[in-house]
Amino acid sequence: MSNEIKYARFEGEDEFLKEIVQRIGTTEVYPKVSAIAGKKIRPDIDILEIKKEPQNQNKVIGYELKLIKFDNRSKGLSWNAFYQGIGQVLLSLRHGIHRCVLLIGFHKNILDDKFLDEFHEMLWGGRENLYSQILGSYISIGTYLYKGGYVNCEIEAKSDFYPLDEKINLSRQNLLNKNFTYAKGLRNKRVIAILEILKLVKFLAIGR
């Protein structure tokens, strides 16, 4: 039996989202944020993370998830989802997010691993040009290669977004105050799983 770790592939973005919700390493994770302070937002935020910081200077991180597919016409990967994702993360800054993450997964119709390797290498090799010419300093881009693995970014945001616009700052405050609408069912399953793990760790510690 081979010990080689296989690349992760997904049938659709909903399956991808459920996987990533489990992988982000905090309890303050909210999937499918569709409204802030009762007002619908466009684009919505696939995953919102509230990161705890010292002196209550918490940060809001937005994740946009996209699946890359194989294009039968070109016999290679379609980059449409990637470009669409870049546009959406840039637009989502107006919701008051400090930093945005474009996280790329891969569709099940990609049968050959070489396409995943090539995509990862191109992203890594072009990271400086992407920063200087397109993204600015508030956007991270990562690939999710291995099921059950970690969320890692090849391109890391270098600073937080601090807007002058009062509406954006008000939206940010609403996010920090958790005044938003999200898919509670998806989050509840994750939180329950984390609490069960914490109970087990506590039980094992007591047993020692």
**Lowest-confidence range among 18-32, 50-64, 166-180, 186-200?**
186-200
Its domain, for residue 165, covers 13-207
* Tens-place pLDDT, residues 78-111: 999 999 999 999 999 999 999 999 999 999 999 9
Domain-located, residue 5: no
The two structure tokens encoding residue 80: 């449409």
Domain-located, residue 6: no
- Kindly report the number of other CB atoms within 10 A of residue 58's CB atom: 14
Is 141:65 a contact under the CB 8 Å cutoff? Answer: no
Is 187:30 a contact under the CB 8 Å cutoff? Answer: yes
- Higher model confidence: residue 110 or residue 187? 110
Q: Is the pLDDT of residue 1 over 50?
A: no
E-only strand ranges, the chain: 29-36, 39-51, 59-71, 76-78, 99-106, 139-143, 152-155, 180-181
Counted domains in the chain:
1
* Tens-place pLDDT, residues 9-60: 999 999 999 889 888 866 789 999 999 999 999 999 999 999 988 877 899 9
Question: What is the structure's pLDDT at 144?
Answer: 92
Domain-located, residue 8: no
The two structure tokens encoding residue 18: 């459920």
- Higher model confidence: residue 202 or residue 60? 60
Domain-located, residue 4: no
State the average pLDDT for the chain: 85
Q: Is 178 helix (H, G, I), strand (E, B) or coil?
A: coil
* % of the chain surpassing 70 pLDDT: 83
Q: Is the pLDDT of residue 121 over 80?
A: yes
Domain-located, residue 7: no
From CA 104, how far away is CA 145, in angstroms rounded?
9
From CA 30, how far away is CA 63, in angstroms rounded?
10
| Cβ-based neighbours of 176, under 8 Å, separated by 6 or more | 50, 58, 60
From CA 4, how far away is CA 19, in angstroms rounded?
21
Domain-located, residue 191: yes
Domain-located, residue 1: no
From CA 128, how far away is CA 102, in angstroms rounded?
16
Domain-located, residue 162: yes
